[in-house]
Structure formats: C-alpha cells, structure tokens
Structure 1
Amino acid sequence: MASEVAPTPRFFVLEDDVRGAHDTQFDTVEPDNLGDAPHCPRCGDPIGMRTWLPPYRVELELYGQSLGDFVDGPGGNSFLISERMAEAFRTEGLTGLLGFHPVEVVRVRRKHKGPKPGAAPRYFAVTVCFGRGAVDEGRSRLRRAVAVTCPECRNPGRDSIHGFTLESGIWQGEDIFRPRGLQGRILVSERFAELVKQHGLTNMKLIPTEEFIWDPLRLGPPTDTHAGPT
C-alpha cells in the first residue's frame, strides 16, 4: 500500500485591514528609542528596520469604528496585539512572535467621524521571527532589479510580486515568520489563519501567497515564472 503524501502547507501574507471596521494604527510617543537593525549573518546586509526599544509608549489612531486586535505602526519591525490575541496565541501553542512587552497607551485619537472610542484594551509590542522558510525563486512570479547573490538572505530589491511560494522541506513550523527572500513581508500558517477565524480577531487580512500582488510601478507580471533578469 502506497504511503500517504503529506499535504503541502499553505501560507498567507498578513496585512492590516486598511479602511476596515477595526482599522487602527499606532505612533510612538517620545522618548522613541531605537536599536540596531537586524543583519544577514552571512553577507551582513540589513534585513529589517531598526528595532524598537523601551519604553513602549504609543498613541493609537482609530480610523475604523472600534480598536483592532492587530495594530501596525512606523518602521515595520514591531506591531501591537491586544491582550485577548496574545492569550489566544499562547493558549493555542502557536509560535513565531517574540517580545510581548506591555505597552502604555498615552492617547486614542479618532481620525474619522464616528462614536467616541471606548477604553483601549491592553496591548503588547511584539516582533516576528526571521524564519528558515525561503521564497522559491523558480516557482514564484517576481521581478527583481538585481539578481540574488546571498544564498542566506536572498534579499536584493524587487520591482513587483505576482504570487509566490516557498521552497518545500525547509520551513521549520513557525506559525508567523518573515521568510528569507521577502523579509519585509509577514507570513502566517494555516494554524494562525484558523486562530484568527475561531477567535474573531480583527484588523487583519490574510492573503494566500499565490494570490499576493505587489506592483507599485504597474509593471505587470514577469513573462515567465523565474525571478527577474539573469
């Protein structure tokens, strides 16, 4: 009897739900302390923005009707999650978030017309781990301005993304992570997607990686499935 083949894991790009019912952003409040940026351990190039250091003091900006569980902000290295999201993440045993530093909410500002915001929930500042999962250049539709030179970070600039996939067999099971080759994006597992659904967590969009499009210059998809010029 032939052995069953394990299903290929699916991944989703995590983004905040801009213009949604729980659209919330944050800005840091002085003193705004920053540490060094993360760098590739092999080539030494930066693979992220400078890290946010304590004290973690923020001003929330409410664009939707009520505050969200996921809140993005400046820099892109750290974001906020509500206490109920933190508890759900830990209770379900998910992995990939780091920090969980309590945040002081100094002020909530409503940016559009709507009801007065209620009391802010407790928030935590978290960062996302850099995973071993890597973009499969041969099976993804990427336009790159420069060919990949470092086999570790695989991180030269890119002009557009028209769907991508990860190499099989090297993902180490993180439920939320930054993949090699696209460290500026946050990927989540099917378990994370199920957590969001089961707990009704807000202000998150989960886009299947094969459907994700980023094309600010409107270049269109590449003419073949290989990444950029050779």
Structure 2
Amino acid sequence: MDFEASASPRFFVLTKGALGSRYDTDVETVDPVNRTDAPLCPQCGDIIGMRTWLPPYRVKLELHGEELGDFIRGPGYAQLISEQFTEAFRAEGLTGLEGFHPVEVLRVRARKKKAGKPITVPRYYVVSPCFGRAAVDLVLNRVRFSKPHSCSECRSTGIDAINGFILEPGTWGGEDIFRPRGMQGVIVVSERFKDFVNRHGLTNMVFTPTEQYVWDPSNLGPAPLPIA
C-alpha cells in the first residue's frame, strides 16, 4: 500500500508469533488477580485503556508449540519477556517498557509431548509498553474509525478496520516501544528496537511496517485517502 506521505523514522507494529508457531504459548493468571482501575484521559476523562495487572504475578503456561519464546502476550497490556530479553534491553538503554517485575511460573503444560526432553523454562518478567505521546495521523492513514475523534489529547475512538497507518510527524517522544494515541491497543516499535531483537536472536516477535499493518475482520477495506 502506498501513502502520499510516510512517517520518518520508520515504525513497526509488534505482534507475537502466529498461532501454531514454534513458540505458540497461552498464559493463565493464577488467583489472586489484582488490577488497577482503567486509565482515564486527563483532558476528556474517557477511558483510554485496559486495567493494569498488579502483583502477585503468578501464571500457568500452556505451550502449543515446541519451546517457550522470549516474548509472550499476557493479560491486558502486560507482556512476559525472558531474562535474556530483559538484560539486553537494559544494557543497550532502550526505552518504553515499564515494570520488569519477576513472574512466578507455577506450571507449564505442553500440548506437544517430547519424549524424554524436558521443557526449558526461562525466568520471565512482566512489562507493559508505555502509553506514548506519538499519535496516529488523523489525515494520512487508512483506518476506518467508528466515529470522529472528539479529544485532541487521547484521540480515542472505536476502530472498525486498519489497513495501514502512520504516526503524525513531530509527536513521537523517542520511545523504542509504546502504544500510540488513537490506537492504544497496538504496540508500535522503533527501527532500533526491531534491529535490537534481530541482533540478539530474540524469539516470538513479528514486525510489520505500520503502513502495511492490516486488521480488518469485516473486510471493510481501507479508508479513502484525502484528495490533494
């Protein structure tokens, strides 16, 4: 897909490996499960995200693939990352992840039995990508919104389909991983973050350029671009 303008520097949507992949894993939280209240926009007061998972961080993992990866999607905005991931992220000074709380893995259930081969369980930490200042461009995008944005701060509204998007120039705060205004449920990363993951061989992460990212469950197609 071609945009009339593109964001610079480049950004990517981060998703976990596909269902049925080598690292396919589900997370089940273990009681007691505590959460904060949902965050509110400081300007309009609307809910702008999901409730945050609080300690104790105790989980059971169900492994559908062959081995546990360095990145596992958790509840809400929480992500489980391995100790290798954590140490490398901190050592290289990347930004945008919050938390780094140890996770207690009580059990790993493997769907695919391996004769005589134990499952290696890395030490995991729970992190959450920050809610950044970067904002989805309201003009140069291919997003179908349920209704027009009413708040210039959070830009929060329903989304019916995404067929590529860019970030508004000048809004990015420099974070390497974040959730943008106007699309809080999507994790966006910098090119530096993508290169970091590839260089360290970290697993179970897929990167799609934001302008090529598609989420269109009802096959609505891309929103029309404005006429120049």
The TM-score with structure 2 as length reference comes to 0.92
Unpaired segments ≥5 residues, structure 2: 1-6
Question: How much is the aligned-residue C-alpha RMSD, in angstroms?
Answer: 1.4
Query: Which residue number in structure 1 is paired with residue 29 of structure 2?
Result: 28
Q: What is the rounded CA distance, in whole Å, between the counterparts of 1:58 and 1:36 in structure 2?
A: 21
Distance 2:216 2:100 in 1: 33
Asked if structure 1 preserves the Cα contact closer than 8 Å seen for 2:135 and 2:182, the reply is yes
Q: Which amino acid aligns with 2:61?
A: L
Gaps of 5+ in 1: 1-6
| Greater shift in the superposed pair: 139-148 or 23-32 | 23-32
Question: 1:1-230 to 2 correspondence within 5 Å?
Answer: 8-18=8-18, 19-74=20-75, 76-114=76-114, 117-222=118-223, 224-225=224-225
Q: The residue matched to 1:100 in structure 2 has which SS? A: strand
Contact 2:175/2:190, CA 8 A, preserved across alignment: yes
**Alignment size in residue pairs:** 218
Name 1:3's counterpart in structure 2.
none
Question: Any conservation in 2 of the 1:66–1:117 contact (CA below 8 Å)?
Answer: no
Aligned equivalents of 2:210 and 2:14: distance in 1? 10
Determine what percentage of the aligned residue pairs are the same residue.
59
In 2, Cα distance between equivalents of 1:181 and 1:159: 13
Shift of 1:111: 2.7
Q: Which amino acid aligns with 1:202?
A: T
Q: Could you tell me the TM-score, scaled by structure 1's length?
A: 0.91
| Residue pair 1:24, 1:71 contacting (<8 A) in 2 also | yes
CA–CA distance in structure 2, aligned partners of residues 175 and 194 of structure 1: 11
Any idea what SS the aligned residue of 2:161 has? strand
Q: Is the contact between residue 136 and residue 180 of structure 2 (CA under 8 Å) also seen in structure 1?
A: yes
- Structure 1 runs, 4 residues or longer, greater than 3 Å off: 112-117
Per the TM alignment, residue 129 of structure 1 is displaced from its structure 2 partner at its CA by: 0.6
**Separation of aligned partners in 2, 1:27 and 1:73:** 8
Letter in 2 for 1:217: S
Tell whether the 8 Å contact from 1:142 to 1:225 is kept in structure 2 after alignment: no
Structure 1 counterpart of 2:4: none
Residues 30-78 of structure 1, C-alpha deviation per residue, up to 9 Å, x if partnerless?
111111111111111111111111100001111111101000123x221
